[in-house]
């Protein structure tokens, strides 16, 4: 399961746009969506308040301000490939102790 985390704030049209794109992937692509109000946390507001919306894919910064369905689809596919490669390395063992 891939986690999408979106940092948003109230009355933010760009936030609503990004959230709508992310929500289209939740049911069909084994994706969960967590929405965080950046203004509810002083630390988040200080770090990200001027840059919302911000979308993280499995904890990695992926997009700021806008994302299209195509861009998110590509990013999710890349994330699945990375996860599969990590699992394969664990199964067969990787040279160099990785």
Residue 68 pLDDT: 97
CA distance 76 to 55: 12
**Per-residue pLDDT for 94 more than 60?**
no
Domains of the chain: 2-92 (3.40.30.10)
Beta sheet of 54-57, edge-to-edge order = 31-37, 2-8, 54-57, 60-64
Residue 86 pLDDT: 86
What are the Cα distances from residue 21, in Å, to 26, 41, 71, 91, 93? 10, 24, 10, 35, 37
pLDDT digits (tens, 9 = 90+) for 10-63: 999 999 999 999 999 997 768 999 999 999 999 999 999 999 999 999 999 999
Residue 29 pLDDT: 66
Say whether the peptide bond before residue 2 is cis (omega within 30 degrees of 0): no
Q: What is the pTM of this model?
A: 0.86
**Per-residue pLDDT for 89 more than 60?**
yes
Residue 95 confidence class, pLDDT cut points 50, 70, 90: low
């Amino acid at each position: 399961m891939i986690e999408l985390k979106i940092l948003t704030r109230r009355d933010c049209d760009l936030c609503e746009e990004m959230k709508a794109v992310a929500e289209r992937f939740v049911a069909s692509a084994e994706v969960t969506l967590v929405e965080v109000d950046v203004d509810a946390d002083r630390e988040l507001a200080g770090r990200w308040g001027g840059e919302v919306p911000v979308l993280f894919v499995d904890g990695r910064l992926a997009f700021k301000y806008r994302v299209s369905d195509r861009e998110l689809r590509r990013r999710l596919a890349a994330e699945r490939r990375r996860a599969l490669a990590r699992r394969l390395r664990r199964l067969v063992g990787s040279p160099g102790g990785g």
